[in-house]
Amino acid sequence: MEKIADIEHAVKDTLAQSLDIDISKIKNHSLLVEDMGIDSFGFAELSFAVQEKFKLEISNEDAQNMKTVNDIIAYINNRLKKE
């Protein structure tokens, strides 16, 4: 089972790489669209990376409910707890 800190780092690392920004600038409360400028393509890329890393799929409906970095971290953590 992944630790929450591992999940947090993986999500932030993926965002940093896909958006080409420094990982230290990514905060848990950062808004994905407003603060980070992530678009639908960026979110698709992030979803794919999450699927690869954690072996789980994010539905479009679930993805639309994610507004912050912390939303993604919490989603992954909750899904991994159920498996």
Superfamily, domain 4-82 = ACP-like (1.10.1200.10)
Q: What is the pTM of this model?
A: 0.88
| 8 Å CB contact between 18 and 42 | yes
18-36 per-position pLDDT tens digit = 888 999 999 999 999 999 9
Q: Where in the chain are the domains?
A: 4-82
How far, in Å, CA of 10 to CA of 13, rounded? Answer: 5
The per-residue pLDDT for range 32-52, each reduced to its tens digit, is 999 998 888 888 888 888 888
Element (H, E) at 45: helix 40-54
